[in-house]
Structures are given as C-alpha cells and as structure tokens.
Structure 1
Amino acid sequence: MRIKIASHSGFCFGVKRAINIAEKTLKESKDSNNIYSLGSIIHNPQVVEGLSKKGLKVIKDITNIKKGVVIISSHGTTIEAIKKIRDKQLDLIDATCPFVKSAHNIVKDLKASGYRIVIIGDKKHPEVKALLSLAGRKTKGNKIAVISQTTQSKNNYLKGVARLLKKDFNELRIFNTICNDTAHRQALTRELLKECDVMVIVGGKNSANTRRLWHICKESGVDSYHIETDVELKKEYFSGKRCVGVVSGASTPDAMVQSVVKKIKRKRGI
C-alpha cells in the first residue's frame, strides 16, 4: 500500500502567528498567573493543551476576570467582547489572523457604504460571529454584498452565491474572502482523491477547515477518516486498500502528521 502525503501541511501563517503571540506573552508577561485566551486560540485541542500547561487559561467570556492579559484568538471576536475587555481595563493582545482581519475591514467598508451584508459560513463559528457583529443587522435595501468565512469551501460559497442570485436586488457585490491556504489545501485534497482509495484527515474535531477537508473527501465517495492523533487509527481502515492519502488542517503541526504516517506504516507493515 502506498502512502501519499499532501505536499502542503503544518501550521498556516495565521495559526503559527497566534501560537507565537501566545508563547511570547507567556514568556514575557509580568503577571503570568493571569494570561487568558478568549476561546481556543486555535482549533487544535492538543496544541491548546500544550499552551495551557505553560499557563494559558482558556475562557469563554471575561465576566469573572478582574485583571490580567486577554488574548483574542486567531478567529477574532465580536466588537462587543472587545468593548468589555477595554471597559474592564484588561490588557488586550490581538492574535486575529491577518486574513480574517482583512475580511473584517471589507465588512466595515461595506457597512459604511450602506450594503446589506451576507456572510456564508458556520454561524456558530467565532469567526462568523465576529463578522456578524461588524456587519450589523441591516435587513432592508437593494444593495447586497456577500463574503465568505475564510475557511469555507469554494463549492459551498458558490452555492450560496447562486441562491442569492435568485433574489431581487439592484446591486450585488461578491468578495472572495476564502484564504489562500484553505483553498490550496482543498485543491491538494481533491488531487489525492484521484489517486487514493482511503483518506486520513488529521486535525482538531473542532477545526472548521479540517472538517471541510473531511467533507470534501466524504462527498467523493472515498473511505475517509477524520482523526486528531495517531491513537485513533485502526488497522481495518486500510484493509484491502492500495493507496492512502494523508491531509491535514491549518492548525495541525507537522509532527502530528508524521506521527500518523509512521503509525499507518506500522499497521500495514510498510
């Protein structure tokens, strides 16, 4: 059985930047007992656990926080949450991915220009919640603009745009806010699907971009398994298979991918 690994793996730029910011803060802060991440700084439980062991405390809100440093996750947060942090005079460090920030700026400009803004994405995801808080709740007007969650699949985005085209409007502006890293990983996944009869997708179960890769694989009809670590691998996944493709999400470290590949080799006696 052959093993083919996507040529692009490991942390994306935004994830790497957020981790570096967290580690630098943990190292340099004078108040090391009060360093918080508002939500998981990235969506990889194992990496977040590692940062927690170094002192980073993950919180859902700041209601009970009286002092210290609050780091905004790579996904960004709502304008209401930022206001609360500032009102409480907590130190704020923004680790929002620059590509997500770019989408924020587009939304701000569109809102100022009077557009109704449609966001295509997972409404419960922190990135989308942040975008919605910036967009407001404008429900009237014939000028419509549509943007995407940065980790959305191109196909899903285009389907959403197609549905909008059936509505009445005077003007529709479409912005491609899917980040390059996301698009590249999805393209590489589709290439591997042409060659492989089983796929292993490595990354956090709470990671939107990793789940998107898994959905792409499942939709193709190829046997596909989304795992976080090599412990989840089962020998029967590869029984009778000739080629396994391995892809990973943007918040999955290279070491984790290599660990999975080694485990596959051991299970198949490669």
Structure 2
Amino acid sequence: MHGFSLNPRWTDWTGKHVWVVGASSGIGAELARTLLAHGACVAVSARRADVLASVVNGHPRSKVVPMDARVPGDWVGVHKILSNTWNAIDMVVFCAAEYRPLRPWEVIADEARRTIETNLCSVYYGLSTVLPAMMSRHAGSVVLLASVAGYLGLPNATIYGPTKAAMINLAELLYAELHPYGLGVYLVNPGFVKTRLTARNDFTMPALQTTEAAAASILSGLARGRFEIAFPTRFTRAMRLLSMLPYVLRLTLLQRLMKTPSP
C-alpha cells in the first residue's frame, strides 16, 4: 500500500512509457501533450496518423502509432511495435470514445454497435493485449476514462451513459483482481469537458472545463494514487450524491431534467 493511496503514485514521469489510445482530440490529446511536457515517453494512437502527428508535433519522446481501437488485431500489432521499441509499457490510458446525444427512440442499431465497440469493447481488446506482460512483470498501470454519465441515467446519453457505467463497474473489478499482482488501476470520471464530443450537446453544461484543466486534474489524481479521479469536485460530488438517492426521488428528478417530449 502506498500511504493512504489505493494505487502507485505517479510523481516523476521522466523516462516513463505511456500509451494513450484515443489521443487524436479532446482529453486524450491534451493528456498526451501534458505527459510529454512532464518528461514521459508517449505513444499516441487513434485512426488518423496525420491528426496524431499534429498532436505531438514531432516531439522527440513521442511515437505515433495509428490504429482502430475497435479492431483486436490492431491492438496486438501496435503492442508488438511498442514492446520492441520500449523495454516495457508502464501505463496504458484508454480514452477512445464516441458520443452523440440521443433519446431512446432515436437509436439506430449500427450507431449503437459502433458506440459500444468504441467505448467498451475496445477496452476489453486492449486489456487482453496488455495485461499478460504487465502481470508477468508485476508492474504497470491502466487508466480507464469513464464519465459521471455512468453514475446514473442522464438525459440524451442513451448509449454513451450505459457504456460508461460498464467501465466504472469494470474498473472496480479490475482493481480487485489486479492489485494483488502489483498493477495500478485508475478510474477517471470527468464532468463536462469542452471537446468535439460535448460540442454536440444543445443544452447548457454546468461546470464546463477545458481539456487543459482536465489533464491537470488527471495528473494530480495519478500523483495521489487515487482509484477514482473525478472532476470538477463540486459537480461530480453532487452527481454522486444524486446517484445514491432512492429511486422514487432520483427518477423523479431525472424526469424533470429530461423534460421528455413526445417521440
């Protein structure tokens, strides 16, 4: 145990090897840039190599390794490249995400499948690829980027919310299963962050944060060895408390939030 922390504390990034998947924009891109600024060696993955290249801007400690997180074979191929380049991967950050605000009656099957594959299935593909080496070394960490949308059934998050709820559940069981092997498991639950995904929302987002603030909060949580890194604090605490209310109160409040129109 590391003091009162549940996880290893990441305070010195010099020479650490971090693989950020879903790094072409938003929190993933900003986190990659921030890690590079703190001395880490960072591999960035997403589908478009040109966009990834613009994120790291030729940084000497960066490596651009494009892949489609929804394809298991891509995980295996990129993992092999990184394992041959680095002695070991110290941390994998799962940031790949898809989101579009949807009411239940607006769901399209193909879009549901694509979102679930991106947000959830890709994490399983990645874990099956990276965990064996980490477990054999008894070292390494995984960071799962979920959301406060996983706390409870929020408006417009018909597909996105359940995938994030599943990631919260997954992170908890991963911690219980992997901690005895010396691995770190970190769950990141952001509130609203200004990204290309949240730009699709047509409502006022309370406590909206920048990606820079989000990256700083994540690094702060990693430095403290926290299991859950939730931010901004006041908003995420309020959402957590709301999720603890009895259903008779919680569902009534959610209905008022949704202001459900007729389909």
Q: Going by fraction, where is strand more abundant, 1 or 2? A: 1
| TM-score, with length taken from structure 2 | 0.31
In our comparison, the structure showing a higher alpha carbon Rg is 1
Q: Going by fraction, where is helix more abundant, 1 or 2? A: 2
Q: Which has the higher contact order (CA 8 A, sep 6+)?
A: 1
| TM-score, with length taken from structure 1 | 0.30
